[in-house]
Amino acid sequence: AAGQEEELARLLPELGEAPAGRHDEQSMARLFELTARLLERVAADRTVVVALEDLHWADASTRHLLAYLFRTLRTGRLVVVATYRADDIHRRHPLRPLLAELDRLRTVRRLELGRFNRTEVGRQIAGILAAEPDPAQVDEIFERSDGNAFFVEELAVAAHEGCCTGLTDSLRDLLLVRVEGLPESAQRVSRIVAEGGSTVEYRLIAAVARLAEDDLIEALRAAVNANILSAAPDGDGYRFRHSLVREAVSDDLLPGERSRLNRRYAEALEADPTLVAADARVMRLASYWYHAHDAAKALPAVLDASVTARRRHAFSEQLRLLERAMELWDTAPEDVRAALRPVDYTEAFPPCGCDPATTPLRYLDLMAEAAVAGRLAGERERALKITKRALHLLEEEGDPVRAAWFWVMRSRLVQALARGNGWQELATAQDLVRGLPPSEVHADVLAHVANWSMVHVPGPDAFTAAERAVEYARMVGARETEMSARLTLGSLIVHSGDLEAGLKEMFEVRRQTTENGMTAIAARVYVNLPDALEAVGRSAEAVPILEEGVAHTRKFGLLDSEAWVWGNLAESLFSLGRWDEAATAAGKSEHVGQSAKSRGFRATLRAELALARGDLAECGSQLAAARGHFGTHDRAPQHEMPLARISIGLTAGEGRLLDARAALQSALDEGFPPDTQRYGWPLLLTAAAAEADALGLPATDAGRAEILQGIREAAKTLTTNAPVWHAHEHWVRAELLRAEGYSDPDDWAAVTAA
């Protein structure tokens, strides 16, 4: 470039001052030629990348230079990378002819970069915020941004700065600028489409717009050519190319304008239901009447839509619709409310044996449906808030059985949120139904008490509670409650040592629940049955059942159950030595289950994997996370004993034997409840092995005899009915002898034989 600085300064001002004179075609050609030769020379012995960003904003001279370079560059290790935003390239955009020309060149390759998927959006947000984002925040930003990286960044930064809902003014202005450049008729049609839904059928747009067909098509064509709207994939309607543009256009509507448009949509759809597909009609009508602010029309429509959502297992949508129904309840006319009937009752509610065909829908019925929907959707905070409001209302109504139902719901929610162990709520429910005639709710209370006892205080009392629950459920014909109680009973039988009888009962419950469409109870079977198999060392049998359970829970939208199934699958795969697969399964649970307990279980699994692989730092991190998720209000043995075992293994691995002994002593002081051998034996084995490994190390002799005696005494409280527990007994005995300096091959032969 020596001697050509003045000419090149037209393109690179930092080289000096551009010469004065004519700027004609000849001078431009000379500049282009010099630029090409400069690039070839620079790239003669090294790879050079020339990057041109935002080509959609390029002026004519830049486009001509780029075309020249692509046609004439022949030598050198040179890559020219140019980017443009496809959504900004409307039908008459001046870049289009250049793109068509470049596509014909063999040296040019066009790369279409698709929008980000959810995982990629999550990574982008994590990079922007320098922290792992909340999964719910990732879901929201992914949905609103459509995976557009620019929109993701804008929404993430806005949320981080406190703008949690809606759009920032700057982003809204940016989104609207192209819409405001449309002809007035196209702007009007865009506003109509924005209120119609994610995709709006052409005939429905026509019915609402009330324009001459030629005028409507011309307006739609203008919006499509400007890349504001696009044809729907099925070719029958239109949608916004970006959800955020639709959101901005909708937000820009005046309040009266929005309600008027929605009323037009609703009236058009009621007049001609064929305007939309049958499977979308109920949901669309509910949305239109709700946003039209017509409570008399909206309340029945919203309730119909909530039933449709439940039958599709769309529990988040069902909850949103039921919350709208509760919002509309007081403003809807009395005669409208009196005519409403529940389609069916949720779970065991209501308890009075009322006939849905003749009994008017009550506000409490809505609250019960919403609480269940919230629990199933993972929206436990919202469900708990609804439950508390319902119990407050019931204080004045004197309805003990309905109150008992809500106390059971509250128990389940506080346990899932790690706000308590749920027993006080169950005890209150028991007190409310005590002495009352048998009912579905009474049976349901007993079934939950039995399940709670199995988890927290396994033993004879849990057996009694489960048997009573089965008896009451059969008495009132509550089949699902009966199956749930029988599942609990079968699990208790397994853990008591009668393996075949207990497993036979659990397999029978599996058969009946799957054959009779009891989806929620079947989901629990897919958690508890493989767990029982894993507990007795039959991991290989558990895996295919768990894989079946993943399909079942996913099909019916049972997110938290799916998380537990994935967690149990990870546990069984780990037992089989398939560690990589176990890690993958544990990761799968992260995307579905967001209850505190499922998070704690997942962290426990990851801690165990890390400990087995010798990654003590990761083990410590996951152990702390697990304890944080489980909290201190619900110290169930099935969580506390594995955490104690991992803590012993971690501290021993770090050379902190005294801390390992302290962790063991704390567990021994707590005692091993009946039927917890699946957790007790591995805990004692870890402690005994730690003592054996530390034999001969300085400062470890003091206190060893007492610790080993404590392990022996604890072992006497654990049963050995299953082969795997019998093997653990031999293994613990061998490790204890090794810790005392004795290691007899016969002892280890007994371990391998067991």
pLDDT in tens, 692-736: 999 988 888 889 999 999 999 999 999 998 999 999 999 999 999
Here the contacts of 654-658 (C-beta below 8 Å, separation 24 or greater) are: 654/616, 657/690, 657/691, 657/694, 657/697, 657/700
Tokens coding 234: 């099925």
**Per-residue pLDDT for 8 more than 60?**
no
Weakest-pLDDT range from 166-170, 546-550, 567-571, 616-620: 166-170
Sign for the CA dihedral angle at 349, 350, 355, 357 comes to negative
pTM: 0.81
- Indicate the angle between helix axes 184-196 and 202-209, nearest 10 degrees: 120
**Per-residue pLDDT for 428 more than 60?**
yes
For 698, counting Cβ atoms within 10 Å of its Cβ (0-12 exposed, 13-18 middle, 19+ buried), the class is: exposed
Per domain, the residue ranges of the chain are 5-103, 118-165, 437-525, 636-754
Tokens coding 661: 């002994």
For 706, counting Cβ atoms within 10 Å of its Cβ (0-12 exposed, 13-18 middle, 19+ buried), the class is: exposed
DSSP codes of every residue in 516-547: TT-HHHHHHHHHHHHHHHHHTT-HHHHHHHHH
Contact 387, 409 (CB under 8 A): yes
Q: What percent of the chain has pLDDT over 90?
A: 60
Chain centroid offset of residue 34 CA: 57
Contacts of 731 (CB under 8 A, 6+ apart): 685, 751, 754
More confident residue, 237 or 595: 237
CA atoms of 262 and 191, how far apart (whole Å) = 11
Q: Please choose, from the candidates 451, 459, 457, the residue with its C-alpha nearest in 3D space to the C-alpha of residue 408.
A: 451
CA atoms of 66 and 82, how far apart (whole Å) = 9
Element (H, E) at 212: none
pLDDT in tens, 476-530: 999 999 999 999 999 999 988 899 999 999 999 999 999 999 999 999 999 999 9
Residue type, 680: G
What is the pLDDT, as a whole number, of residue 11? 52
What is the pLDDT, as a whole number, of residue 504? 97
pLDDT in tens, 590-617: 777 678 889 999 999 999 999 999 999 9
More confident residue, 570 or 27: 570
Q: Calculate the average pLDDT of the chain.
A: 89
Weakest-pLDDT range from 144-148, 266-270, 371-375: 144-148
pLDDT in tens, 70-84: 888 878 888 889 888
Residue type, 639: H
**Per-residue pLDDT for 310 more than 80?**
yes
What is the pLDDT, as a whole number, of residue 650? 97
Contact 644, 667 (CB under 8 A): yes
pLDDT in tens, 377-413: 889 999 999 999 999 999 988 899 999 999 999 999 9
